[in-house]
Amino acid sequence: METGASKSFMAECEVLRKVRHRNLLKVLTVCSSVDFEGNDFKALVFEFMQNGSVEDWLHPRSDSVLPPRHLNLWQILNIAIDVASALDYLHSHCETPIVHCDLKSSNILLDDDMAASVGDFGLAKFLRKTASGSGTNESNSIAVRGTIGYIPPEYGMGAQVSMQAESVVERMEIKDVLPQMHAIKKKFARMAKSIAREFRYKEKIWGRKSSLFSGF
């Protein structure tokens, strides 16, 4: 195993050893051995998540054998709440604050009930606590890696790893699902107009008017 991959594996093991939360992906077992050719073999075995990642729902692969799937409004809201709950635990309720450093839709997994769990802690960083209780990290962005488009832009300008920057990434993730929320809003608007037309038709039959749907 390459040095970088080995460091990532050890970092993930260290994080998973110290955390336990309903919205963090559960590790079942860890394997560190050698394969039949004598090469290092390391593996983390996680709980199977039946509904894949948020990425699978937002941007399905063209060669996918599954039919197109869409998140509804309540699912989007619940996923956002689950991710926020996981980050709050990592940032504020661990003995040593942890910053995920690679939060993106492909690292947010969904179980059979569409509950979200955050996974992939290979780039996670432990922060030292200050006297005020907030977390800081002495290392700068030279040691920080992540995914372009998701990594906080201030890391590229030499800023330190921080919980505040990761909260910005969470808001970026929410924006990633806004196109679907817009489609849902349009669908609800069409439904409301259809109901209003039906109601006005009933008004003519009943012989009285109502201001309930006056805005449609």
Q: Which fold has domain 3-176?
A: Transferase(Phosphotransferase); domain 1 (1.10.510)
Question: 40, 102, 111, 120: which is the annotated catalytic residue?
Answer: 102
Angle between helix axes 163-176 and 178-206 (nearest 10 degrees) is 50
Cα–Cα–Cα angle for 11, 29, 112, rounded to 5 degrees: 100
pLDDT at res. 69 = 82
CA nearest to 173, candidates 68, 90, 59, 91? 59
Give the mean pLDDT per block of 10 residues along the chain (216 residues).
68 79 89 82 88 88 76 88 89 85 88 94 72 47 48 52 52 54 54 62 56 43
pLDDT at res. 196 = 61
Element spanning 99, H or E: strand 98-99
CB count, 10 Å around CB of 166? 21
Q: 87-96 as b/e, with b when 16 or more CB fall inside 10 Å?
A: bebbbeebee
- Alpha-carbon distance of 178 to 28, in angstroms, equals 34
User: Could you confirm whether 82 is annotated as catalytic?
Assistant: no
The answer to whether the predicted template modeling score (pTM) of the entire model surpasses 0.75 is no
Residues 141 and 112: beta-carbon distance below 8 Å = no
- Alpha-carbon distance of 13 to 124, in angstroms, equals 10
pLDDT at res. 214 = 45
pLDDT at res. 97 = 86
Element spanning 58, H or E: helix 54-58
The two three-digit tokens of residue 127, written as one number: 């922060």
pLDDT at res. 7 = 74
Q: DSSP labels for 117-186?
A: EE---TT-EE-EE-TTS-EE-SS-GGG----TTTS-GGGGGTPPP-HHHHHHHHHHHHHHTHHHHHHHHH
Per-domain boundaries in the chain: 3-176
Residues 67 and 101: beta-carbon distance below 8 Å = no
